[in-house]
């Protein structure tokens, strides 16, 4: 269900490299949530770092939404860069698995497969 890659890079470098990989693969970064900072700003003791990238390819999004508008709740794709036990990791919930749980439409399965291949390549590029 998950694709998670560990990298030797610092958290900051992995964030920078993921942003570049997203653009390289024809997606855009809609927003980056700094979850660690947000939790700490609310007074929570949270030692790890976590930035969640909302990424989107407009052509793929239109295909998904044209097939089943309810799937807007599963968009955009999210890729996280985070630390865990002093290791930097980059991961996502596999789009194909997620969409197959929400729809049995074969056209959506094909779209999700394409998006999954691209997003995994983004992670692999960023971790290298």
Neighbours of 102 (CB within 10 A): 14
List the structure tokens of 75: 């968009």
Q: What is the pLDDT of residues 9-29, one digit of tens each?
A: 999 999 999 999 999 999 999
What is the three-class DSSP state of 15?
Answer: helix
Ordered domains of the chain (ranges, CATH): 2-127 (3.30.310.70)
Q: What is the DSSP string of 92-125?
A: EE-HHHHHHHH---HHHHHHHHHHHHHHHHHHHH
Q: What is the pLDDT of residues 63-92, one digit of tens each?
A: 999 999 999 999 999 999 999 999 999 999
Looking at residue 28, what is its pLDDT? 97
């Amino acid at each position: 269900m998950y694709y998670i890659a560990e990298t030797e890079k610092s958290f900051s470098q992995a964030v920078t490299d993921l942003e570049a990989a997203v653009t390289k693969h024809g997606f855009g970064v809609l927003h980056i949530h700094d979850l660690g900072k947000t939790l700490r700003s609310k007074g929570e003791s949270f030692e790890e770092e976590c930035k969640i990238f909302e990424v989107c390819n407009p052509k793929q999004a239109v295909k998904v939404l044209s097939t089943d508008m309810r799937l807007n709740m599963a968009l955009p794709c999210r890729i996280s860069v985070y630390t865990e036990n002093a290791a930097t990791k980059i991961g996502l919930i596999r789009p194909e698995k997620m969409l197959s749980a929400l729809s049995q439409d074969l056209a959506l399965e094909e779209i999700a497969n394409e998006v999954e291949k691209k997003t995994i390549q983004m992670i692999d590029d960023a971790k290298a």
